Amino acid sequence: SQQSLRLHHENLLSTNRSSIFSGHHGQLSLTAVFLDEYRDRLFLGGKDILYSLLLGPASSESKEIYWPPLPGNREDCIQTGKEPQTECANFVRLLQPYNRTHLLACGTGAFQPMCAFISVGHRGEVRRCEDRQSNGRGKVPHDPSLPFASTFNGGELYAGLTADFLGRDSVIFRSMGGRSTMRTETDQKLLHDPKFIAAHLIPDNDDKDNDKVYFFFTEKASEPGDREGAIHTRVGRVCANDVGGQRVLVNKWSTFIKARLVCSVPGPHGIDTHFNQLEDVFLLRTKDERNPDVYAIFSTISNVFQGFAVCVYRMADIREAFNGPFAHKEGPDYQWGAFEGRVPYPRPGVCPSKITNQPGREFGSTKDFPDSVLQFARSHPLMWRPVYPALRQPVLVKTNIPYKLKQIVVDRVEAEDGQYDVMFIGTDVGTVLKVLALHSGNSLETEEVTLEELQVFKVRFTPSGVFFILSQALYVGSPAGVAQVKLHRCETYGKACAECCLARDPYCAWDGSLCARYTPNSKRRYRRQDIRHGNPVLQCVDQNLSEDIDMTEDKVVYGTENNSTFLECVPRSPQATVTWLVQRDDRKEEVRR
Ligand SMILES: *[C@@H]1O[C@H](CO)[C@@H](O)[C@H](O)[C@H]1NC(C)=O
Ligand SMILES: *[C@@H]1O[C@H](CO)[C@@H](O)[C@H](O)[C@H]1NC(C)=O
Ligand SMILES: *[C@@H]1O[C@H](CO)[C@@H](O)[C@H](O)[C@H]1NC(C)=O
Ligand SMILES: *[C@@H]1O[C@H](CO)[C@@H](O)[C@H](O)[C@H]1NC(C)=O
Ligand SMILES: *[C@@H]1O[C@H](CO)[C@@H](O)[C@H](O)[C@H]1NC(C)=O
């Protein structure tokens, strides 16, 4: 069987596995974070406040600045009927490094978004540049509860958001830097009530002209066979060097295209169960910066069924969908199909580069693109073929669980017998699940191994988007504060070789006397680890297997005849099975439901 641990809040704090920073004024109301690896600092944005923390034990020294809405804006906001506490404040939603000395910070400013430069001193002192406060429209949403996604690149900010007071103008914006502002046209074909989850710049090849910014979002579906109002998950992209058209699409994206991301499992009667709602995206970056693995959490929630799945996508499959046919519909009464006519040149979605800029066909900028290309791009933003996950199925599925999966980060760990992707999944009940998905042999089936379940926060909450790994620690944000949690604490698994082996934690190995951090390439003689099978008999045969391990815990409950007794046993491990036996005289019998 499998030994995995369920660790409680108090236990995590008392063993120094985790520490929590909650601000200096009670509730931190955390809404943004930026981790500065060079200065070893964590910058946190909250309600009317910004913190600068030294990394390390989270309670250590911190600096802060107060950053309220502009004079009068709080009152105006309350006047329009908004909630004074939860809406009419400056919720900092964006923190980005701007240059060596300054951060860019943007907040909701009581429904009047604003941005400011924050100077950071040598010892982490933060100061807001009073004279450089600017309008934050198109950079963060007005409403602190609305989702948005952004990425900062080459001095320019790419943001997917709603950019108006009512939260109806859904756009992908590019602002700042030297070039003129770019946006998507207002057209439901392009974006239909989108909810943006993530934005990332991912290069295509060595030519920077082919750099593309990818957006991961959900929107109302328009495709064939779908019920009215169905939600689909999309990956959309624009070229970083898109400057819009010359006569049409002036200052509007001319390279925007999108494809559906599918995450589904085969169901009974040949009908797949689709997980359509995107919850979070994590890019597992590798040495090859053009080909990160895209991990995504999806949900499907109905009255009868609540399920979650993690799917992993390869960039090659995403690019293939974008290189495939465009989705096309002849008219309102026609079926959707693949566009089979002639696609104009340069093909929509292709960035202007050396390839498109040839003698006789000089397309050095999107402003040179023929009107026919721009018209086609505008009328065919959706690709016909969807993107399927690697192996065509999720790596993890959870159904009918009493909590929601909300956030994911993945750490690729080197172990004795290869590499493992350890997933850390944040839930809405304050826990973090540390999970492995293993492929057993040649089969497509994945085996899910929950290594640990960490109760980082005591309360149920809506995650605040803070969820990342740095220096062997996971940072988890909640409205109540930010927790720093060590990725492993091998000694927690026990004092015996078998316990360490059964844990199947790629971070840990039995070193002959202890369950300790496994370090690849070290020359230690004893390094017992069996992630794939967790078989202690093979690994620990010479390691006092029998005497110091007892995997069962007994609990005795007395009952009265003809009366009821509540049988309760909350096991330490989420993988444990609980068996109740009733003893009458000398005989023990299992109690079945
Ligand atoms: C946790 O850290 C504190 C302060 O550094 C230290 O005094 C204490 O002994 C540590 N506890 C454990 C269990 O390591
Ligand atoms: C960084 O940007 C700020 C704001 O534009 C500017 O005042 C400052 O001089 C810049 N610093 C450097 C080192 O470029
Ligand atoms: C096994 O246990 C015995 C008795 O407790 C001890 O003498 C021996 O050194 C142990 N062997 C190992 C390999 O730990
Ligand atoms: C329990 O209930 C059974 C059947 O109703 C009865 O025969 C028996 O005497 C009861 N035992 C006690 C201890 O009340
Ligand atoms: C049954 O158990 C409950 C709770 O232990 C007790 O209050 C009650 O008196 C018992 N009834 C009988 C008939 O023994």
pLDDT tens sequence across 316-353? 999 999 999 999 988 888 888 999 999 999 999 999 99
pLDDT category at 129 given cuts 50, 70, 90 is confident
Tell me whether residue 591 is in a domain.
no
**Ligand 2 mean position, distance from CA 64 (Å):** 21
- Asked if residue 443 has pLDDT above 80, the reply is no
Q: What pLDDT does residue 534 have?
A: 77
Whether residues 132 and 57 share a domain: the answer is yes
Question: How do residues 246-273 score in pLDDT, each as one tens digit?
Answer: 999 999 999 999 999 999 998 777 788 8
Range of the domain at 533: 491-550
Residues 201 and 328 in one domain: yes
- Alpha carbon distance 116, 66 (integer Å): 13
Same domain for 49 and 133:
yes
Ligand nearest to the CA of 541: 3
Q: Which of 131-135, 383-387, 442-446, 507-511 has the lowest mean pLDDT?
A: 442-446
Q: Is 562 in the pocket of ligand 4 (CB under 6 A)?
A: yes
Task: Tell me: pLDDT of 573 over 60.
Answer: no
Distance 119 CA to ligand 2 centre (A): 8
Indicate the range of 96-105, 220-229, 260-269, 274-283 predicted with least confidence: 220-229
Is pLDDT at 244 greater than 70 in this prediction?
yes
Give the residue, by CA position, lying nearest to ligand 3 atom 3. 544
Q: Whose CA is nearest to atom 11 of ligand 5?
A: 563
Tell me, what CATH number does 513's domain have?
3.30.1680.10
Could you give the number of structural domains in the chain? Answer: 4
Q: 236 versus 449: which is more confidently predicted?
A: 236
Q: To test the ligand 2 pocket, which listed residue (96, 117, 156) has its Cβ within 8 A of the most ligand atoms?
A: 117
Average pLDDT over residues 579-589: 82
- Check whether residue 208 and residue 69 sit in a common domain: no
- Does any ligand 4 atom lie closer than 6 A to the CB of residue 333? no
Instruction: Judge if 310 and 428 occupy the same domain.
Output: no
**Is residue 346 situated within a structural domain?**
no
Q: What is the mean pLDDT of the chain?
A: 87
Q: Does a structural domain hold residue 225?
A: yes
What is the pLDDT confidence band of residue 38, given thresholds at 50, 70 and 90? confident
SS3 per residue for 405-441: EEEEEEEEEEECCEEEEEEEEEECCCEEEEEEEEECC
C-alpha angle 55/59/60, rounded to 5°? 55
Residue 547: predicted pLDDT: 46
Shared-domain flag, residues 297 and 397 = yes
The whole-angstrom separation of Cα 57 and Cα 52 is 14
Q: Each residue of 528-557: pLDDT tens digit?
A: 788 887 777 677 776 654 444 455 666 777
Give pLDDT, residue 68: 94
- In angstroms, the CA 412 to CA 410 distance is 7
The pLDDT assigned to 576 comes to: 59
Same domain for 449 and 546? no
| Percentage with pLDDT > 70 across the chain | 91
What pTM did the predictor assign? 0.85
The DSSP code sequence of 347-380 is PTTPPPSTTTEETTEE--SGGGS-HHHHHHHHH-
Cα-to-centroid distance, 382 and ligand 4 (Å): 72
Instruction: Enter the DSSP assignment of 229.
Output: T
Binned at pLDDT 50, 70 and 90, residue 526 comes out as: low
**CA 559 to ligand 4 center in whole angstroms:** 14
Where does the pLDDT of residue 139 fall: very low under 50, low under 70, confident under 90, or very high at 90 and above? very high
Residues 55 and 129 in one domain: yes
Q: What are the tens digits of pLDDT across the range 192-233?
A: 999 999 999 999 999 999 999 999 999 998 875 556 678 999
For residue 497, the ligand closest to its alpha carbon is 3
pLDDT of res. 2: 47
**Which residue out of 560, 562, 563, 564 has the highest number of ligand 4 atoms within 8 Å of its CB and is therefore the one to mutate?**
562
Element (H, E) at 499: helix 497-503
Residues 65 and 1 in one domain: no
Ligand of minimum distance to the alpha carbon of 528: 3
What is the predicted pLDDT for the residue at 227?
64
Compute, in angstroms, the gap from residue 285 CA to the centroid of ligand 2.
Answer: 30
Q: Which residue among 16, 59, 489 is best mutated to probe the pocket of ligand 1, counting the most ligand atoms within 8 A of its Cβ?
A: 16
Element (H, E) at 96: strand 92-97
Per-residue confidence (pLDDT) for residue 395, from 0 to 100: 94
Category of 218 on φ-ψ map: left (φ > 0), alpha (ψ -120 to 50) or beta: beta
462 pLDDT more than 90: no
Strand duo 5-7 + 446-455: pairing: parallel
> What's the 99 CA to ligand 2 centre distance in angstroms?
6
Q: Answer with the one of 357, 374, 401 that is the final residue of a domain.
A: 401
| 300 is a domain residue | yes
Which of 434, 465, 486 is the C-terminal boundary of a domain? 486
Residue nearest atom 13 of ligand 5, based on CA coordinates = 563
**How far does residue 562's CA lie from ligand 4's centre (Å)?**
6
Any residues with Cβ below 6 Å from ligand 3, and which? 543-544
Only one residue has tokens 């493992």, namely 420
Q: Which residues are paired to 21 by β-bridges? A: 482
Q: Kindly tell me if the per-residue pLDDT of 463 is higher than 80.
A: no
What are residue 96's phi and psi, to 5 degrees?
-135, 145
To test the ligand 5 pocket, which listed residue (563, 564, 566, 567) has its Cβ within 8 A of the most ligand atoms? 563
Q: Determine if ligand 4 sits within 6 Å of the CB of residue 560.
A: no
Residue nearest to atom 9 of ligand 5 (CA): 563
In tens, the pLDDT along 380-433 reads 999 999 999 998 999 999 988 889 999 999 999 998 888 999 999 999 998 999
The length of the chain, given as a count of residues: 593
Max Cα-Cα span within the chain: 98
At residue 478 the predicted structure's pLDDT band, cuts being 50, 70 and 90, is confident
Is the predicted pLDDT of residue 451 greater than 60, yes or no? yes
Residues framing ligand 2 (Cβ under 6 A): 98-102, 117
Q: Is residue 563 in contact with ligand 4, taking CB distance under 6 Å?
A: no
Does 275 share its domain with 315? yes
Single-letter residue type at 117:
F
State which of 550, 571, 588 marks the end of a domain.
Answer: 550
Please say if the pLDDT value at position 315 is more than 50. yes
Q: Decide if 44 is inside a domain.
A: yes
List strand residue ranges (DSSP E) for 163-304, in order. Answer: 170-175, 195-202, 212-220, 231-239, 257-261, 264-265, 273-274, 277-284, 293-301
**Positive or negative torsion for Cα 127, 129, 130, 134:** negative
Q: What's residue 583's pLDDT?
A: 81
Does pLDDT of 522 surpass 70?
A: no
Query: Is there a domain that residue 371 lies in?
Result: no
Residue whose pair of structure tokens reads 């909590």 in the numeric block: 403
The answer to whether position 394 is within a domain reads yes
Instruction: Assess if residue 219 is contained within a domain.
Output: yes
Q: Whose CA is nearest to atom 11 of ligand 2?
A: 101
Give burial (CB, 10 Å; 0-12/13-18/19+) of 104. buried
Query: What pLDDT, on the 0 to 100 scale, is given for residue 1?
Result: 39
Instruction: Give residue 548's pLDDT.
Output: 46
Lowest mean pLDDT, pick from 117-131, 137-151, 228-242, 277-291: 117-131
Among protein residues, the one whose CA lies closest to atom 14 of ligand 4: 562
Phi, psi of 201 (to 5 degrees): -85, 125
Question: Residue 560 CA: which ligand is closest?
Answer: 5
**Three-class SS state of 392:** helix
Ligand 3 centre and the CA of 508: distance in Å? Answer: 22
Residue 198, domain CATH: 2.130.10.10
Q: Do 146 and 50 share a structural domain?
A: yes
Judge if 258 and 396 occupy the same domain: yes
